[in-house]
Amino acid sequence: MSEATLPAIVVYDIAALLFQFLNSFGFIILATVGLAIIFGMMGVINLAHGEFILIGVYGTALTYHAGLPLPVAMGAGVVVTTVFGVVVERTIVRHFYDRLLDSMVATWGLALVISQLLLIVFGSSLDSIGTPLGNVSYGPFSSSIYRSVLLPAVALLVLAGLYVLFTRTEFGIKARATIEDPETARAMGIDTDRMYVATFAIGSALAGLTGALYAPALGSITPNRGSTFLVEAFVAVVVGGPSVILGTLSASGLLSVFNAGGSFFFGTFIGQMLLLLVAIVALRFLPDGITGYVDDWRQRRRAEE
C-alpha cells in the first residue's frame, strides 16, 4: 500500500491535530494557572502576570547562558519569580485586596515598568535556548516532543498538585478558609496575612515555572513577550470561571480545541481569532464561566430534589 492513500493522510492529519491540541492545551493551562490561583483565591487580577512569566523566562535564560545546566537554570527562574512576587505582594498588592479595579490598574502600571526595565537592562533580546528532546515525526508532520508531550503532562501534574495542596493539606484548608471569610479565619487563629502572601507566592511561583518551562520553547526572548501569555491566560480565566482547577482545565480544553483546529486548518492567526471569538460567545451565554454555570446547574438540581 502506498503512503499516499487516503486513510493514511487522514491518520496523519488526526495525529497532527492531536499534537497541535496538546501543544495548545499545555500552553493555555500553564499560562493561566498562576493568574487563576491569584484571581480565584484572592480576587485580585494581576495584570502583570505576563511579565511575571517573563521574569521566569529571563531568570532561566540568564542563568543558563551563565553556564548552569538547564534544569538548574529553570529552578533559578522559579525562585527569582517567587521572590519577586512576594516583594510585590508586600509592597503593592496588599493595598488592593478590596479594590478590584484599582488592583488591575496598579498591576498594569507594574507591567509597563517591568517590561520596559527588562528592555533597558537586558536590551532588545536575549539569545534563545534550544528546545530539548527533539521532535516526534510521523509521516509528513513533526512536532516538538517538549512542547506537545512534556509540557502538557507537566501542566496536568501542576493542576493535580494544586488540587492536592488545596484540598488535602492543612495549608490548603487554612488558605481556603481565609479566602472564604477572612474575619472568621482570623478569629480561629489563622494568620490571614501570611495566607495571602503564601497564595500570592504560589501564583508567582507558577508564573515563574511557566516562564522557566517556556524559556527553551519561545525562540527569541524579548521584553514584550509577556503579552504572548497574557491574552490566553485572561481568556481562559474568564471562560473558566471562579473554580480554579476545574475552570482552568475545562477552559483550556475547550479553547485549545478551537485554537488547534483553527491553527491546523487556517493558520495560527485564525486559531487565535477563533479562540477569542469562542471566549466572547461563551461570556455572552455563561457570564460566570463554565464552572459558574456548572455550580448553578448543580444548585438548581439540588433545589429540585
Stretch that binds another protein, among 101-109, 146-154, 169-177, 181-189 (CB under 8 A): 101-109
Which one of 10, 72, 113, 153 is in contact with another protein (CB under 8 A)? 113
Q: Is 99 in the site for another protein (CB under 8 A)?
A: yes
Q: Closest approach of Cβ 283 to another protein, in Å? A: 6
Q: Which of 64/234 has CB closer to another protein?
A: 234
Q: Which of residues 220-239 bind another protein (CB under 8 A)?
A: 227, 230-231, 234-235, 237-238
Please tell me the count of residues contacting another protein according to CB under 8 A: 37
Q: Which of 129/235 has CB closer to another protein?
A: 235
User: Cα–Cα distance between 140 and 14 in angstroms, integer?
Assistant: 12
Q: Which of 111/218 has CB closer to another protein?
A: 111
Which one of 10, 65, 90, 109 is in contact with another protein (CB under 8 A)? 109
- The mark string for 44-63 relative to another protein (x by CB under 8 A, - otherwise) is -x------------------
User: Cα–Cα distance between 27 and 19 in angstroms, integer?
Assistant: 12
Q: Are 114 and 55 in contact (CB under 8 A)?
A: yes
Q: Closest approach of Cβ 185 to another protein, in Å? A: 23
Q: Are 289 and 238 in contact (CB under 8 A)?
A: yes
Q: Is 28 in the site for another protein (CB under 8 A)?
A: no
Q: Is 287 in the site for another protein (CB under 8 A)?
A: yes
Q: Is 66 in the site for another protein (CB under 8 A)?
A: no
What three-state secondary structure class fits 279? helix
Question: Which of 33, 21, 23, 37 is CA-nearest to residue 211?
Answer: 33
Q: Is 294 in the site for another protein (CB under 8 A)?
A: no
Q: Closest approach of Cβ 109 to another protein, in Å? A: 3
User: Cα–Cα distance between 290 and 127 in angstroms, integer?
Assistant: 40
Q: Is 116 in the site for another protein (CB under 8 A)?
A: yes
Torsion of Cα atoms, 217 then 218 then 221 then 227, to 10°:
-140
Q: Locate 135 and state its grid cell.
A: 521532535
C-alpha atoms less than 13 angstroms from C-alpha of 162 in its C-beta half-sphere: 28
Stretch that binds another protein, among 10-18, 112-120, 128-136, 250-258 (CB under 8 A): 112-120
Q: Closest approach of Cβ 151 to another protein, in Å? A: 22
Report the 10 Å Cβ neighbour count for 41: 20
Residue tagged 508564573 (cell numbers): 207
User: Cα–Cα distance between 215 and 146 in angstroms, integer?
Assistant: 12
Residue tagged 478558609 (cell numbers): 177
Question: Which of 221, 231, 233, 173 is CA-nearest to residue 198?
Answer: 173
Q: Is 137 in the site for another protein (CB under 8 A)?
A: no
Element (H, E) at 144: strand 141-144
Sites of contact with another protein (CB under 8 A): 45, 92, 95, 99-102, 104-106, 108-113, 116-117, 119-120, 227, 230-231, 234-235, 237-238, 269, 272-273, 276, 279-280, 283-285, 287
